[in-house]
Amino acid sequence: MIKGGSFYFSKSHEWVGRDSNNKYHIGISDFAQSELGDIVYVSLPEAGKTYKKDDKIGEIESVKSVSEIYAPVELKVISVNSKLNDTPELINQDPKEAGFIAEVEISNDSDAEGLMDENAYKTFIADSRHE
Amino acid sequence: MPKFPGIKGIFLDEDPLIEQGSKRLRGIGIPDCGLKKSDLKKDESAYIDAKYIRKSPPELPEVSEPTVVRHFTRLSSWNMCVDTVFYPLGSCTMKYNPKINEKIASLENIKNLHPLTPAGLIQPVLKIVYDFNEILCGLTGLAEFGFAPQAGAAGEFAGLKIIKKYFDLKGENRKTILVPDSSHGTNPASSVLAGFTPVEIKTGKAGTLDAEELKKFVSKDAAGIMITNPNTFGVFEKDIKKIAEIMHNNGSFVYMDGANFNAFLGSVKVSDMGIDLIQLNLHKTFSTPHGGGGPGNGAIGVVESLREFLPVPYVKVGGKSTGVEKDSGEKADGGNKSNNRKDNSYSRQVYELSEDKKNSIGRMTPFLCNFAVVLRAYAYLLSLGRENIGSVSEIAVLNANYVKKKLGKILSGSDPFEEGLCMHECVFSDKAIEENGVSTIELAKLLIDYGFHPPTVYFPKNIHGAIMIEPTETESVRTLDNFIKAVKEIKFKTKKSKAVKSPQKTKVGRVNEVLANKQPVFKY
């Protein structure tokens, strides 16, 4: 699916992944899933709908709390990962592959590239933990 | 295998009542109803519609009276409640409820009161609601309270509906409600339900809303602001007067979530802070057992200009009733001094249930209100007395700061607001306990084994692994010291292997939270 692709991260802990066929997927980061704890429910975005950057596109409920999922970039949802309806724990198990949220279309490739890359995101997490 | 209760102390095993029965055993004798079975058989449908006639007898426990009493007494001994343990649940005042409230709410003529009883026959009930409104107005400086909302969030909803209707009548289309992220979670939800779009404002490092930051969000679109004060970090919004002024200059309302009223009850009037509307959670601040869905009362208070918008029905004073008492004995005279006792004549205020509010948002409940909650709140206030009401918030704040300072030393570096004082509750992050390998949820579960109800955990969300503690004014320093000692022991002595298995001393041990969330099973 996204294997071998490149990942970009938002400050609200979503990722955008571009695979070798130039297709885009979105999800939440490994750090985000570990902070949330066991995920019990995911409310997915609407297929076919266009969202602006930072729009609320869904919700994740864990045993601790309910958190919102934001659009990391301006995007159009092509299809959602409906497996999450019955097995939301896929996000805990494999946030960057089987636990993706949706396949999306992005108008500008540069939007994704404008986010943090893996290294920058790692530094961002380390900094925010020390706050 | 037979079970022997009481051998090892508390009996932690109990079959469902229905499994404790014996065929045809009867706990009580019921008098003969006068109908023979053979009478019924002839033509059952003469008595009961055919579709309601059972094919088989109902499955009821067939047990003796002592079995029932012992069953429920045992079950009650497993209950972790404010009557058995310290209950430091932050963000939701859970104080001990004085038993006198229950005694009064359980009086025969109160608990058997029918909601459709005509006003003329329940004058004392209406007088209590009327007088209680006056007490709340005195405590808040507002003009009137509506008692229809049956919960805090229902009070918020009523308040926002009032704001909505006010602007609708004025012909102004104001679409948004400003909600700082330090307000209660129900605030944005109530805004949406009332037809507004909530706009979130981020709070600063001090945990409070900055007046300058607020200005960036103020526009003619804003119908009002919903602010929780003290906010959900337990910090007092110092800029509140400035915030109110900014909103009022914009023609907008200031709604305060009064769920944290316990922090300043009797010390400050909300009218002095510039508040236009507030809901008071009578079940929290004024002590009614609650949780798990009720019963509650989220009385909605408003300023003079919004009185006509309150929900109906409400209690108002009608004319006076005069007459002559038939009995010559001691009689209540309604407190009227002009009453001449010698000739037994009286003159009493008459209370009416009225729907006469010209801009009312309408009815929220089938009847007047959750009266038993109002009554408990009234009893609570009268038993305290006007001169002692202020000490409720003084001691609540003192207790919270005691815990904040003492626990702050044990959980060093975990208090995000270390510098200042808190109001009625304090909050810590998981920084210090995590260093010892214990997570917030494990601390919460371990506390149960120490005989404490866990504090609120993982809320507020913007504090990492939050632990939120509200001791309330009802707890003694000895209880607080014991609680602090328990946290200290957990932090320094607990092994991870024990933490993940806790609680171990309760009827139900560690529950599978994921399964409970994903596949809840509801049964008796």
Provide the 10 A C-beta neighbour count for residue A124.
Answer: 16
A vs B, Cβ pairs < 8 A, gives 20
Q: Fill in the DSSP letter of residue B93.
A: -
Residue B183: pLDDT over 70: yes
CB A101 within 8 A of CB A45: yes
Cα dist from B17 to B60, B76, B207, B245, B439, whole Å = 9, 14, 51, 61, 38
Question: Which candidate, B92, B83, B86, places its Cα nearest to that of B456?
Answer: B92
- Tell me the chain B residues in contact with residue A61 when contact means C-beta distances shorter than 8 Å: 517
Tell me the CA end-to-end span of chain B in Å, nearest whole number: 24
Strand partners, A102: A26, A80
Give start and end residues of each alpha helix (H) in chain A: 30-36, 83-86, 90-93, 109-113, 118-129
What pLDDT does B6 receive?
Answer: 47
For B519, nearest residue in chain A (alpha carbons): A40
How far is it, in rounded angstroms, from Cα A114 to Cα A130? Answer: 25
Q: Is B518 within 8 Å of A65 when comparing Cβ atoms?
A: no
Give the CA count within 13 Å in the CB-facing half-sphere of B81: 11
Q: What is the mean pLDDT of chain A?
A: 91
DSSP state of B476: -
Q: Which fold has domain B108-313+358-384?
A: Aspartate Aminotransferase; domain 2 (3.40.640)
Tell me the two tokens of residue B383.
């038993």
Say yes or no: A126 contacts chain B, CB-CB below 8 A: no
CB contact under 8 A, A63 and B461: no
Partners of residue A75 on adjacent β-strands? A51, A106
Compute the distance between CA of residue A63 and CA of residue A9 in angstroms, rounded to an integer.
24
pLDDT in tens, B438-473: 999 999 999 999 999 999 999 888 899 999 999 999
Nearest CA in chain B to A41: B518
**What percentage of chain B has pLDDT greater than the value 90?**
66
> What are the extents of the domains in chain B?
108-313+358-384, 316-354, 389-505
- Tell whether A41 is within 8 A of chain B (Cβ): yes
Kindly report the nearest CA distance between residue B204 and chain A, in angstroms.
Answer: 14
Rg (chain B; Cα; Å): 27
Cis peptide before B57 (omega within 30 of 0): no
Sheet with B467-469, strands from edge to edge, namely B426-428, B467-469, B456-457
Topology (CATH level 3) of domain B389-505: Aspartate Aminotransferase, domain 1 (3.90.1150)
Of the candidate CATH numbers 1.10.10.10, 2.40.50.100, 3.40.50.300, 1.10.286.10, the domain formed by A6-124 belongs to 2.40.50.100
A127 and B CB contact within 8 Å: no
| DSSP H stretches of helix in B8-151 | 37-42, 65-77, 99-105, 108-111, 123-140
List the Cα angle B319/B320/B326 in 5-degree steps: 145
**Phi, psi for B509 (deg, rounded to 5):** -80, -145
Please compute the mean of the pLDDT values over residues B408-422 and round it to a whole number.
92
Task: With H, G, I as helix, E, B as strand and everything else as coil, classify residue B223.
Answer: strand
Q: Tell me: the pLDDT tens digits for A16-55?
A: 999 888 899 999 999 999 999 999 999 999 999 999 999 9
Residue B150 has pLDDT above 50, yes or no: yes
Region B371-391: what's the mean pLDDT?
95
Percent helix, strand, coil in chain B, to 5, is 40, 15, 50
Side chain identity at residue B346, one-letter code: Y
DSSP string of B432-459?
HHHHTT--HHHHHHHHHHTTB---EES-
CA A105 to chain centre: 14
Q: Which tokens go with B502?
A: 């806790």
The region of weakest confidence among A50-54, B218-222, B338-342, B432-436 is: B338-342
Which of A79-88, B240-249, B334-343 is the least confident region? Answer: B334-343
Ranked by mean pLDDT, which of B16-25, B31-40, B385-394 comes out on top? Answer: B385-394
Contact assignment for A40 to B517 by CB distance below 8 Å: yes
Share of chain A above pLDDT 70, in %: 95
B322-B323-B328 Cα angle (round to 5): 130
Which pLDDT value is given to residue A64?
Answer: 87
**pLDDT computed for residue B9 by the predictor:** 57
Cα–Cα distance, B420 to B271 (Å, whole number): 25
Q: Which residues pair with B280 in a beta bridge?
A: B299
pLDDT for res B312: 96
Q: What percent of chain B has pLDDT over 70?
A: 92
Q: What are the tens digits of pLDDT across the range B89-98?
A: 988 888 999 9
Q: pLDDT: is B325 or A75 the higher one?
A: A75
Dihedral (CA of B187, B189, B192, B193) sign: negative
pLDDT at position A22, please? 86
Q: Which residue of chain B comes nearest to A42, CA vs CA? A: B518
pLDDT digits (tens, 9 = 90+) for B127-140: 999 999 999 999 99
pLDDT tens sequence across B270-285: 999 999 999 999 999 9
Q: Is B461 on the interface with A (CB under 8 A)?
A: yes
Is residue B332 scored above 90 in pLDDT? no
Bridge-partner residues for A9, per DSSP? A15, A116
- In angstroms, rounded to a whole number, what is the distance separating the alpha carbons of residues B456 and B516? 19
**Which chain A residues have a beta carbon less than 8 Å from that of B461?**
65, 67
CA-closest candidate to residue A35, choices A58, A51, A52, A12:
A12
Q: Which residue of A has its CA nearest to B461?
A: A65
Q: What was the pLDDT predicted at B48?
A: 79
Average pLDDT of chain B is 89
pLDDT interval class at B178 (50, 70, 90): very high
Residue B167 has pLDDT above 80, yes or no: yes
Please, how many CA atoms are within 13 Å of residue B392, restricted to the half-sphere of its CB?
27
Interface test with A, best of B192, B458, B500, B519 (most A CBs within 10 A): B458
3-state secondary structure of B229: coil
Residues of B in contact with A38 (CB under 8 A): 513-514
Q: Any idea how long chain B is?
A: 524
Q: Return the residue of B nearest to A66 by Cα.
A: B461
